[in-house]
Structure 1
Amino acid sequence: MYYDVVDTSNGKLTLRDRENPNQPGVTVDPAKARIEGVFVERQIELRDGEKVMFRQNDKERGITNGDLGTVHISRDGKAWAETKGGIVELNDKPQVMDYAYARTVHSSQGATVERAIVVGEANRVATAEAAYVACSREKRGLEIITENSEKLSQVWSRFSERQAALDAQQKAQRAELDVPRSLAEIRAARQDAEKKLEQPEKQRAEQKPERQDVQRQRQDEQEIER
């Protein structure tokens, strides 16, 4: 359900049901209420071939937050977006979406584009992983825009060195644990485990005749006493 905020006095939100605007408003405390998302309604101009991103899950239409779509507009004015999940009609109701020409590094993971322009702010903390994701999405061209290229290079290099040290430490720990890595090592480890499992069974099998001999000896002794 969607609500419009009609009043924000006294630290409370007065909400009006968009589908039933004649109903009395509902007042809630934003610190206690469970609000899934807050959006600002605005109109955007769409043209055929426009790239958009959906910003909210919609199970009924098969939309996941972050899905990308290409807009198509027919001659009679009908608009729809082609996504990886299918066709999404855009004329039926307001859409929770925006232009997809600029994206965060997090939302760009797994994406591939022809060309990319990365905005790298030298004063903001960014990990080496984030830098790698940002600079490895394009196929043909990459441009990095920053206010201080030397400082940005130092920041990214520092995090890269730290990540390399962590990788080396984890590799050394794996070596100490003697974890099998190749298929041959895995097979050898499996054979050793099977042998260890077979040993108790053999021991139990060897102990059974001894127990039977002991029982027979006791029976013979009892018969002699009688």
Structure 2
Amino acid sequence: MTRFRLSAALLAALLAACGPAKPAEPSAGGPSAGCMSRAYPNIGGPISLVNQDGEQVTEATYKGHPTLIYFGFTYCPDVCPMTLVTVKRAYDRLPEGVSPPQTLLISIDPERDTPEQLAQYVSTNAFPDNLQGLTGTPEDVRAAADAFLADYSRIEQPGSQSEYSMDHTSLLYLMDEDWKLKTFFTHEDTDEMIATCLTEMLE
């Protein structure tokens, strides 16, 4: 069973950001003030992966417009699909004139998540229309996750038909046009809160 957990590295980054030498300061008030104070410069970095069409992509592919990134996998029984459904609902709440960010699912299970598997998964009607799936070699996937301080590990399930599952950090990372972190969302953030925050940040 996949479950939410913050990596130790991410916790350290958040604690360091709240230290007296460099306090985190919200850039706006109101109900989304919390998400406005989550832009940590040490979260986010380069990627070199393959999309669901088999095309090589890097962070440069997505520069020029906001991008929402999620690390998950297609065999995830609950957390991943529910997170993507929440994103879809948040996008549906955006007011006219506010375009949703490009949405990426970076698979942390490259052994099973081939481009073909991802192509089928991201076309699910309950997920965002602009969802793209990315995969790659185990080394490239790990490098991408490390750049975002996203933790994951394989959990063997000998008695299960799937043989194993993946335990992973469940965060949504919003990158700006220059591939710099603007904020992140946790499993506790509702679609309404995400929509409110995206509206303030993307208008």
Compute the TM-score of the two structures, normalised by the length of structure 2. Answer: 0.22
Q: Which has the higher contact order (CA 8 A, sep 6+)?
A: 2
Rg (Cα) greater in structure: 1
The TM-score, its normalising length taken from structure 1, stands at: 0.21
Higher helix share: 1
